[in-house]
Amino acid sequence: MGSLKGKDILHGNQFSKRDVEGIIRIASDFEKELKKKDSLALLKGKILATLFFEPSTRTRLSFETAMQRLGGGVISMASAESSSTAKGETVADTARTVSQYADAIVIRHPRIGSAKEAAEAAPIPVINAGDGAGQHPTQALLDIYTIHKELGSLKNLKVSMVGDLKNGRTVHALVELLSLFQTRLYFVSPSSLRMPEEIVSNLKQKGIEIEETEDFRKAASESALVYMTRIQKERFENLSEYERVKGYYVIDEKFLKELKKKITILHPLPRVDEIRPEVDAYPGAAYFRQVKNGVFVRMALLAMILGKR
């Protein structure tokens, strides 16, 4: 496995199969260690800066939890309004400034390419926690870790990705990692929210089997795992278009009964109406276990980029 020490984490395509397997192994080691004690001293004296220009619950808190579980400290900016960007400061200047205080930066921003801009400016590692409709690589890594835990393997999988595939940065990153394991992919979405053609074309060039469809039931019946995403209201310029497609696909108790097979269900959260609360008790509903796994994976990444693994 190549060392991630000092590296930026920006895009799902930067990882090799060996990298992913190594991250899974280290995350698993941390998960086991945390069953024995509440925290480690691996990153004692190190500081993580979390810069969030878009709302976040799971990503920001799991990164901060991960750093503190490793014995490090956190400084945080939870909104654009609370920073000098409200005065016109650029992302690059913010990154340069914060790098004077911290050893690593996690950034979420509404503009595609913003994390790369921060990484080019900062002399410390930068982790992309979501750049608009672009990428969310650490979510993809925790998704892969969850799939490995839930299904026992990453080989010969059939996966349905459902919902807003056009704007869904989580699925954009995840397909890059799944392609390393030759996963068969079903892209299920309304026609207006299809996976970007560039991503589909790149996957096909890698020899990945893809089926694009609007038939959710058929795709789910052929899959071991369904990855649901919400229709993202904040990505629509035309709200009437959002109203047309919201609630397009829903998993409820009736859907699961009619499926007549067990599936594993993941969701990056937050959900709106695409997974009914009644589904939470379903054995294959893994989305809250998925949330917990984010801490272990982000612990692994922080330890690796700071040279402690």
Is the pLDDT at 135 greater than 80? The verdict is yes
Return the SS3 of 213.
strand
Least confident of 76-85, 116-125, 196-205, 231-240: 76-85
> What positions carry a catalytic annotation?
58-59, 87, 108, 136
Residue 94: band (very low, low, confident or very high) from pLDDT cuts 50, 70, 90: very high
pLDDT for the residue 87: 65
Is the pLDDT at 169 greater than 80? The verdict is yes
Least confident of 61-65, 218-222, 244-248: 244-248
Closest by CA to 129, choosing from 38, 240, 21, 55, is 55
Residue 153: band (very low, low, confident or very high) from pLDDT cuts 50, 70, 90: very high
Compute φ and ψ for 131, nearest 5 degrees: -120, 90
pLDDT for the residue 116: 97
pLDDT for the residue 77: 84
pLDDT for the residue 243: 67
Say if CB 54 and CB 108 are below 8 A apart. yes
Listed in sequence order, the residues at least 6 apart from 176 whose beta carbon sits closer than 8 Å to its beta carbon are 11, 12, 13, 15, 140
Domain architecture of the chain: domains with CATH? 12-135+294-305 (3.40.50.1370), 137-290 (3.40.50.1370)
pLDDT for the residue 88: 77
For residue 220 the two structure tokens come to 């789910």
Q: What is the arithmetic mean of pLDDT over 33-45?
A: 95
Q: What mean pLDDT is reported for the chain?
A: 92
For residue 200 the two structure tokens come to 């589909």
Task: Give 124's Cβ-side CA count (13 Å radius).
Answer: 20
pLDDT for the residue 7: 97
Q: What is the arithmetic mean of pLDDT over 10-33?
A: 95
Least confident of 68-72, 89-93, 121-125: 89-93
Amino acid at 153: S
Rama region for 16: left / alpha / beta (φ>0; ψ in -120 to 50; rest): beta
pLDDT for the residue 240: 72
pLDDT for the residue 86: 59
Is the pLDDT at 35 greater than 60? The verdict is yes
Residue with tokens 């993941």: 266
Amino acid at 37: K
pLDDT for the residue 192: 86
Say if CB 4 and CB 305 are below 8 A apart. yes
CA distance 99 to 105: 8
Closest by CA to 308, choosing from 48, 52, 101, 37, is 48
> Angle formed by the axes of helices 169-178 and 137-151, to 10°?
60
CA distance 302 to 308: 8
Listed in sequence order, the residues at least 6 apart from 301 whose beta carbon sits closer than 8 Å to its beta carbon are 4, 9, 23, 127, 138, 141
Is the pLDDT at 1 greater than 60? The verdict is no
Q: pTM value?
A: 0.92
Is the pLDDT at 46 greater than 60? The verdict is yes
Least confident of 99-108, 162-171, 178-187, 289-298: 162-171
Task: Please give the angle made by the CA atoms of 274, 277 and 280, to the nearest 5 degrees.
Answer: 105
Is the pLDDT at 282 greater than 80? The verdict is yes
Could you check whether the bond before residue 270 is cis, i.e. omega within 30 degrees of 0?
yes
Question: Whats the size of the chain, residue-wise?
Answer: 309
Task: Please give the angle made by the CA atoms of 154, 172 and 201, to the nearest 5 degrees.
Answer: 90
CA distance 225 to 219: 10
